[in-house]
Amino acid sequence: MNKEYYIGIMSGTSLDGVDVVYCEITPNSCKLLASLEYPMPLELKSDILMMTEGKNSLEKVGQIEHRLGVLFTQAVGTLLIRENIDASTITAIGSHGQTLWHAPQNGVSMQLGDPNILAAKTGIPVVADFRRKDVALGGQGAPFAPAFHEFIFSNINASVSVVNIGGMANITVLGDKLIGYDTGCGNVLLDMWVNAHYNLAYDKDGIWARSGDVDYVLLDTMMADPFFSQPYPKSTGREKFNQAWLEEMIASRKDTVYFRPLAQNVQRTLLELTALSISNEVLKFNTDVVLLCGGGAKNTFLVERIKTLIPNIEVAIAQNADQIEAMTFAWLAYKRIHNEEVNLKDVTGARENTILGGIYA
Ligand SMILES: Nc1ncnc2c1ncn2[C@@H]1O[C@H](COP(=O)(O)OP(=O)(O)OP(=O)(O)O)[C@@H](O)[C@H]1O
Ligand SMILES: [Mg+2]
């Protein structure tokens, strides 16, 4: 079987770092050989966040595009050196890019990180801009991981759903017809709230959330957001689940008397929101097993809550749970290089399956 070697780069909505993977890919397998998480400089993170809040200049957009291209190149270079990999043995790099604005309903999915820098500095062809062809065909342009979940998990001898808990969360249900969509926010609001109160990047193992009580009035107010009842295909991002959204929810807490909830109770309620919005969707398909992946799968309290909310479904952590998103983009690069269409139309709602991504060489 022809083996080819690819690199995948993922920088997700959490802005916690750049995940890089080195994979061996054949027509029916994708083996993770090495991986690395490269830190996102705090200054760049804060510029990106300001951008997503609409508080930055056009000049900054150009700078962010360039700085991310350099960052991705440094991340790949570090992995190549550390693993002693000869760049000429890599067929291509698949780069997701950093999403700055995702509004497919308006035909927009803007992802930055100049792939030309990566191609010029590494000498390796780069596949990037995966989402916009799907959007041009009327699709959501997201989530894309379901096609890869289908590729790697379809040999499991049970009915399976996969839930990725990143900044946002998404579900995949494997079956004759592939189903996949965003379930809502994953870690993004939990990270934002703990950062505002304790200046931490995230609430490790949900310890702070565990110290609070669920505010059920606030939880109901948040769960009443139309996103949670909207039928799929659907995808979301920081444009929706952000600080302004949370403040609006707290302010419109539907109770007889308004009072501002304690900070730890908000954290606890946000964790419950993530657990409940995921569990509600998992229960709709009632598979034998749900595999969790993404950084949220390391939040022990969140996983505990999901297990409690879906007691009849086996919950397991997927193999390579932290790297699956980056592996998806290594595999999507393989698909592009081989001019193969990706089975995503039922997930994204695009008119047809198509070849995704542009090649920068
Ligand atoms: N031990 C832990 N306890 C609690 N939360 C954790 C832990 N480890 C990671 N996380 C959470 O996982 C997040 C990172 O997850 P991940 O990298 O999957 O998200 P992402 O970069 O947004 O990816 P994507 O958008 O592709 O799904 C962190 O921001 C944090 O919220
Ligand atoms: Mg990440």
DSSP 200-212: -SS-GGGHHHHTS
CB-based contacts of 348, cutoff 8 Å, min separation 6? 134, 139, 140, 141, 142, 144, 233, 235
What digits encode the pLDDT tens for the residues 273-303? 999 999 999 999 999 999 999 999 999 999 9
Whether 210 and 100 share a structural domain: no
CB-based contacts of 338, cutoff 8 Å, min separation 6? none
What digits encode the pLDDT tens for the residues 246-271? 999 999 886 666 678 899 999 999 99
CB-based contacts of 230, cutoff 8 Å, min separation 6? none
**Residue 109: pLDDT above 90?**
yes
pLDDT score recorded for residue 254: 66
Whether 56 and 187 share a structural domain: no
Which whole number is the average pLDDT over 149-163?
94
Whether 205 and 271 share a structural domain: yes
Whether 61 and 77 share a structural domain: yes
The pTM (predicted TM-score) of the whole model is 0.96
- Distance in angstroms (rounded) separating the CA atoms of residues 6 and 150: 19
Domain enclosing residue 120, as ranges:
4-144+323-360
Whether 220 and 355 share a structural domain: no
- If you take atom 13 of ligand 1, which residue's CA is the nearest one? 295
- If you take atom 29 of ligand 1, which residue's CA is the nearest one? 14
pLDDT score recorded for residue 128: 98
**Helix ranges, 286-323 (H):** 300-309
Whether 253 and 311 share a structural domain: yes
Distance 115 CA to ligand 2 centre (A): 19
- If you take atom 19 of ligand 1, which residue's CA is the nearest one? 166
**Ligand 1, pocket-test mutation among 40, 187, 193, 317, most atoms within 8 A of CB:** 187
Mean of per-residue pLDDT scores for the chain: 96
**Ligand 1, pocket-test mutation among 10, 14, 194, 332, most atoms within 8 A of CB:** 14
**Ligand 1, pocket-test mutation among 100, 203, 299, most atoms within 8 A of CB:** 299
Whether 195 and 242 share a structural domain: yes
Distance 203 CA to ligand 1 centre (A): 10
Ligand nearest to the CA of 166: 1
Whether 84 and 205 share a structural domain: no
Pick left, alpha or beta for residue 274 (phi over 0 → left; psi -120 to 50 → alpha; otherwise beta). alpha
pLDDT score recorded for residue 334: 98
Question: Taking the mean position of all CA atoms in its chain, how far away is CA 136?
Answer: 21
- If you take atom 5 of ligand 1, which residue's CA is the nearest one? 299
Q: Pocket around ligand 1: residues whose beta carbon is below 6 Å from it?
A: 10, 12-14, 16, 164, 166-167, 187, 190-191, 202-206, 294-296, 298-299, 325
pLDDT score recorded for residue 235: 95
Residues 336 and 127 sit within 8 Å (Cβ to Cβ): yes
The residues pairing with 93 across neighbouring beta strands, listed in sequence order, are 7, 126
Structural domains in the chain (count)? 2
Ligand nearest to the CA of 19: 2
pLDDT score recorded for residue 257: 67
Whether 162 and 311 share a structural domain: yes
Whether 54 and 103 share a structural domain: yes
% of the chain residues with pLDDT over 70: 98
Of residues 167, 172, 185, the one with CA closest to residue 289? 172
Ligand nearest to the CA of 202: 1
- If you take atom 9 of ligand 1, which residue's CA is the nearest one? 295
Tally Cβ neighbours within 10 Å of residue 217. 14
Report which ligand 1 atom has the smallest distance to the Cα of 11.
21
Whether 237 and 336 share a structural domain: no
Ligand nearest to the CA of 111: 1
CATH of the domain at 82: 3.30.420.40
Whether 137 and 258 share a structural domain: no
